[in-house]
Amino acid sequence: MALRCAELYLRPEDEASPAQPPVTAESLRLDAPMESLLGTLFEHVDVVLAQCDAVTGATLLRQAKVPLDLVYIDPPYASHRDYLYAQRHAEDGSRVERVAFRDRWDGGMLEYVDSLTPVFEAVHAALSDEGSFLLHVDPRGAPYLSIRCDELFGLGERLSAKNAPGFRNEIIWTYGLGGSSPRSWPKKHDNILWYTKGSDWFFDPPMTPAKSNRMRGQLKKQPDVVEIPSINNMAKDRTGYPTQKPVELLEMLVKAHTRERSFVADFFSGSGTTALAAARNQRHAFASDIADDAIAVARNRLLAEGASVAILRPGKVSGDDAAAPKTLDETALVFSRLGTVQDRCFLALEGGEPTHRLVRDVYGHEAIQKLSVV
């Protein structure tokens, strides 16, 4: 899958000033091969979003020689259901739902595991020698997926040999929201499998308030059972995109497994929580998803947070105006982060003046329109 830089949202210091010429698609050489472009993009933005499948994203980072220190993925769980993205129209409050992704496997659990195996292989190849891999799954798939990951990464802590590559631990994330069945224990946890590529890795243990009387008022190391509430339906940061995880969980994982300025990747990024957690904590992030809705949700969320973002898309950006500049087809539109949202659209700037806007309607369709009055 060929990717190109389609949108670029810059930091204020990268924008035009009297002493500095404006950063443009041409000055950044956005028409360069993607393998050589990624390093340049990370010099100007906090997050690179890519609309592509997981293997393509991991392969691109490996080819670009990005020193990837952490990969966290939250793939489908073989739940045999469709997940809907619910979006509310800003004009009249009407609600529109459409399928965000389908999690159905005719071949059952074996087909599901086989489908993720190329992703695990690509992740292993892309990680730095000290890199960590966090696989977020549920109790149904965890036993099957852990065996496959053991084969690829190594048995690690399951062996008597100290610091052997591979499996390090299983983190249990427990939460309280959601329903329960009268016929079974309430299902209130997910599994996060931790693997390392090599025999040496970075880990900064998270700290949590101690609960014992002896250590009252002190901090202790967070155990491998983590209790963080899932996002409720009325939460302010809820995006409407399905399976969104709490940013508190991802911030804890990102800070525990990487240093500042490290590179973090998520190849099933969904609403962009991993990228948001990385940007908040001074890490570089690469986040990919095959769904256009996911890229749009993550983009808008990151921009609202004040992050700078580059977006890679397959093919070409389409325009609805014959007079649109060639950059719409050949390179990226460079957007200003200052005042980036105006009348629910994004403005492209040339010489500091808005010339075009990127509009996304409630049905998920995007179009580039030329402004008739500037």
CATH code of the domain in which 119 resides:
3.40.50.150
| pLDDT given at position 40 | 86
Would residue 330 count as lying in a domain? no
* 81: three-class secondary structure by DSSP: strand
d(CA 259, CA 82): 37
| pLDDT given at position 371 | 65
Would residue 197 count as lying in a domain? yes
Would residue 353 count as lying in a domain? no
CB 22 within 8 A of CB 351: yes
Would residue 173 count as lying in a domain? yes
Would residue 350 count as lying in a domain? no
Would residue 370 count as lying in a domain? no
CB 222 within 8 A of CB 190: no
Using CA atoms of 367, 371, 372, 374 in order, give the dihedral in degrees to the nearest 10. Answer: 180
Q: Mean pLDDT for each consecutive 10-residue tract of the chain (374 residues)?
A: 78 52 59 82 92 96 96 93 78 72 90 97 98 97 97 95 95 85 90 98 95 88 95 85 95 98 97 97 97 91 89 64 36 44 45 59 62 54
Would residue 64 count as lying in a domain? yes
CB 256 within 8 A of CB 250: no
Q: Range of 302's domain?
A: 46-307
pTM equals 0.85
Would residue 301 count as lying in a domain? yes
CB 62 within 8 A of CB 222: no
CB 113 within 8 A of CB 145: yes
- Collect all residues with Cβ–Cβ distance below 8 Å to 246 and sequence separation of at least 6: 228, 229, 230, 231, 273
d(CA 302, CA 309): 8
The total number of structural domains in the chain stands at 1
| pLDDT given at position 261 | 96
